[in-house]
Each structure stands twice: as structure tokens, then as C-alpha cells.
Structure 1
């Protein structure tokens, strides 16, 4: 048998003289996963989430794990309390005294009594709004403001109620301001003779009308003793010598002005008259004293005899 010699293979396993296939070219198109990841990375929200959100979430997780331990929380709370106490105890935050403007005498003493502050005290320990409400609750105080002035001074500014009338009720004498608010008790009428006097149940509820009546009666102010609310419906103007002007429930001001005009023309109130009754606006009735009535009857009798 004839022997056949096979030549050795060339490098790379190719046979010499054999035709070599060209290498396969790589597809330049990205894979589906790579395409989606590239598109996702182009999203601003995703980039912000990766660059900031993940680090913040990691840090928050570490902090939450540390704070989750009770000993760590107690340590932080103690440190915060010590820092706060150190800040609040500094001299520049200490309040050493109280100054009150707009109130003096008894009212100033009342304010100091309802604000029992032990000086020195930190300004952080003062509830100024609650203290203001406490001061405004006092009857003579209309409005109040509180603030801490430089130098450690608690400044209290008071706007007092101004009394405009004296009200006599079952509980005694009381001062009223222009809003019919209670200002304070009054021991004696002689303490405020400059203020008009009101009496009767419900008189305080009709203070504006009463003040208008007092203003209309200014021509006879020296004889006016006060106004009495009758049956919670109308007013009686009380004068000296026991005289009364009985006003109607409606149109009291006009009726009083009518009486004042009549008095200025004929001196009606200077005569021996007990009351001028205007409860019926269409008819003015004058009540005379018994002595004056008897004198009038005698005069009329003499006149009738003389006519015969």
C-alpha cells in the first residue's frame, strides 16, 4: 500500500493552501437591556434619585438605626436639655423687674398680685400671652400688652377703662364705661359726683340712650339727680325737690327736649310741680303738689264767686 504524507497544519488550525473565512463583525446596535438603561439614565429624576436619593436614604437609615436605640435617644435628649438650660440661664435672658405704665395705685397692686413672678426669671419661662389675658380679665383694664425690654425689664402697658356713669343696682354702686362694661365698685356716690347716676334694673344695658338724655338735660344739669329705668321699658328723669320727668318708652329724647324748651319758655320746672308726665307723647300732663293743687282750687273758687 502506498503511504500518503499529510503536511502539518498551519498556525490557527488552518490548512495551508485552504481558503480562510473572513471574521464575523460585531453588531453595533445596543442590546435591549443596555438601551433601556441608557434611556433611564437620561431621565433627570432617576439621576437625582441615584446621586442624591440613595445617599440620603443610606444616611437616614444609619441615623434611624442609631436613634432607634433608647440609650442614644436619652443621651441626645439630655444634651439638648443641658444646652437649652445653659442658653436660657445666660444673663442677657434674665428678667429682673416689672414696670407698669398706664396704671397706678390700687390697679397697679392688683396687676402685681395676679402676675406673681419671682424675679429674676428667664424670659423663656414667661408666657406673655397668658399673662396678658390674666391682666385683661381685671375689670378696670380695657387692653394690655406685655413685652421684655432690654435690660431685663418686664414692661406692662395698660389701657384703662374710662368710667362715664355710676350705676346703682341691688349690689350697690358701680362704675360703667362707654361700652357698659363694669369698671369697678364705688363705695360712695360722693367719690364721683362728676358722673351721671343711673338706677333701675336694665339701666346699664341702655347706657348710650341715657347719656344722650343727660346731654339734652344740660340746661338744667344743676338740678338733675339721675335717671331711673322704669319697668325695663322707659326712663324717669329725677330732679331735686322730688320732681320727675316721666319719659315715654319711644322717643324719650324728643320728649325731654320738648320739656326743656317748655321750661325755658315758661319756667315749668320752677313751679310747685311733682311730675311732668310724657308717657303719652300726644298729651303732656303736669302733676302738682297737694298744696299747690289746693291753692289752685281755692283760686278757681274765688274766681267763680267773683264772676257771679
Structure 2
């Protein structure tokens, strides 16, 4: 190895170091070789940038096919014969599906309804049974049935087996309302139930009268419930001026109640009757319209008794003093007084 060291001159020369020549570079070729530029063209660059936008991609992928399909369909449907054939074909398919036995309604089942409501509900069906369930709009039918005064609520559904079930809740008559147009049955809310020809048709129900009495039916029922001991003597309640009540009893007695606090005033009158037998006396009117100043209007017999005690001339049936010169008039007055006393 020492012979390979060129820096040792005093030793024997060894193997020469091989000479490595640098690789020769290829000679540059001329422009005629046609080397391709890898950069995209300006048009391709712009198209690529446009396709990166979401809107453009949707238009190309969805909008363009949809437009082409719509154009083809419009051209095809422009012919009247083709449109008629397509419409008839679709109608036939729909009719065939709707009239399958699984969708047919064969019978009507009504629960909780009277005979009149049952007949009315059967007449309100939009089609004759059997019919397809697609031809029966339950919501519209329910709205039509609720227009009947006697129906408070109804539940409609189609049961398996093609049965249209109707569960009806009818209004319960609670009071009779007499007005210039006739006599009607009302429920506890004042809603009309039906019309009757006379009072005797439902003699078991209390009677109210006057315009606007139906709108205050709930208050009238509360007054009737508070009547208590005098309930057998109660003939009805009359609405005065569409704002207050008069309680009408037998023997022509009347309790005039205020516009506000009618129930409280009536309960006070019931207390006076129980404590002092007020209504069993010869009293025509008990006026309670003023809470601080109740007024009593006594009958003719009580007035004449007071006038006789004072030495005054008695009053006749018309409220005028009798003529004392003619005994017949005085006798007639006594006769009327005695007759009235017998009636009371």
C-alpha cells in the first residue's frame, strides 16, 4: 500500500491512480425538436376554474339533464292525442287501486245518536255505500255533522272490514227558551238543541223567556238551582232588556234582580223568605235592583187592609178608589177582594 502514495518519492512507485473523465453533456438541440409546454392553455384554465364553482357543477350535473328531459317531455306532450291517452291511463290506474276491496266501505255504524241524528248523518254521506274510502273525506264530513244543533261532538274513523264508525255525543237539553219565534230547547251552555211545538212537550225542564235569554242560559240555570224551597212555585225566568232577570212565581209574584250580582241578590231574597216568610204574604213584586234599597210592592188586598185601618177608601182592581156612594161598587170591590184572597 505504500507504493500507492504519490507523495512518497523515496519509495518505489506503485500503481498509477486511474483517471476518471467527466461525462460529456449532450449537445443542446435546436428549436426544431418541438418540446411540449406542460402548462394548460388559457381556455382550459378558465373552464377548469369554472367547474370548481358549486353552482356551475349543479347546473351541469342536474340542471342540464333536467332541462333536456323537460324539453323532450314537452315535445312529446304537445300532441293532444298523447295527452289524452296518458290522462286516461293514469285515471284508470288510480281508479283500479282505489276501488280495491281493501279500500271499500260497505256499512255505517253509529253509536250514541238518536233516531233523528242517525237519519241526518246517513243523509250527509257524500256517496252511497258501498264506496271507496278515498271518496269519503272524514274531516269535511265531521264539519258537516257538527252543524247539526243536536250534535256536540263526533268521532269518525274507518274500521277494518269496511265499516265507517261514528261515535256521536249529543247535546243534553237543560232549559226551554220561549221567544217571539217559538219555543226551543237549549243545553246548559245556551246552544240550540231542537225546536218544540209547545211548552208541554218538555214540562220537566225550566222555562226562560225574552230576547237574549239564550246567551245567559248558564246564569239562569244557576238561579234555578238556588231557588231551593220555592222551586215548585217557580214558573220561569224572564230576560228584561237583554241585561237582567226577573224570577216569575205563581200567584203573579215577581222578583226583580239586578244586572250585576243577580245570584247573590236572589240568595238574599231566599234568606228573607226563610226567615220572615216573605213570599207567602200578599207581595206582588220584590225589587232587588238596588242592593242598598230593596223595595216591596204589596198586593191589592194588603193595600185595602191598610187603607181600612187608616179610614181611607178602598181601591178597586184598576187601582183607583171606589165610589162610596154606590153600595154596589163597594160590594163588588169586596167580592173581588174575597175572590183574590181565595186565589192567594
TM-score (norm 2): 0.73
Q: CA deviation at 1:57?
A: 3.5
In the alignment, the residues of structure 2 paired with residue 30 and residue 135 of structure 1 have an alpha-carbon distance, to the nearest angstrom, of 77
Partner residue of 1:214 out of 215, 219, 224 = 224
Q: 1:233 to 1:126 in 2, by over 3 A?
A: closer
Partner residue of 1:87 out of 97, 101, 106 = 97
Asked if 1:284 is matched to 2:294, the reply is yes
Asked if 1:137 is matched to 2:153, the reply is no
Task: Judge conservation of contact 2:188–2:221 (CA < 8 Å) in 1.
Answer: no
Partner residue of 1:273 out of 243, 268, 283 = 283
3-state SS of paired residue (1:163):
coil
For residues 152-178 of structure 1, what are the alpha-carbon distances to aligned partners after superposition, in whole Å with 9 as ceiling and x for unaligned?
Answer: 112223222222211111222211123
Asked if 1:232 is matched to 2:246, the reply is no
Asked if 1:73 is matched to 2:88, the reply is no
3-state SS of paired residue (2:174):
strand
RMSD: 2.7
For residues 39-70 of structure 1, what are the alpha-carbon distances to aligned partners after superposition, in whole Å with 9 as ceiling and x for unaligned?
Answer: 33444554454445444433333223212222
Task: Judge conservation of contact 2:98–2:134 (CA < 8 Å) in 1.
Answer: yes
Aligned to 2:113: 103
Partner residue of 2:176 out of 166, 172, 181 = 166
For residues 102-122 of structure 1, what are the alpha-carbon distances to aligned partners after superposition, in whole Å with 9 as ceiling and x for unaligned?
Answer: 212222122223336422111
Q: CA deviation at 1:255?
A: 2.1
Aligned to 2:251: 241
3-state SS of paired residue (1:183):
strand
In the alignment, the residues of structure 2 paired with residue 286 and residue 90 of structure 1 have an alpha-carbon distance, to the nearest angstrom, of 78
In the alignment, the residues of structure 2 paired with residue 269 and residue 220 of structure 1 have an alpha-carbon distance, to the nearest angstrom, of 9
TM-score (norm 1): 0.80
Higher relative contact order (CA 8 A, sep 6+): 1
Aligned to 1:183: 193
What is the count of residue pairs matched by the alignment? 283
Q: Which runs of 5+ in 2 are unaligned?
A: 1-26, 312-344
Aligned to 2:215: 205
Q: 1:43 to 1:277 in 2, by over 3 A?
A: closer
In the alignment, the residues of structure 1 paired with residue 48 and residue 291 of structure 2 have an alpha-carbon distance, to the nearest angstrom, of 99
**1:37-48 pair list within 5 angstroms:** 37-48=47-58
Q: 1:264 to 1:93 in 2, by over 3 A?
A: same
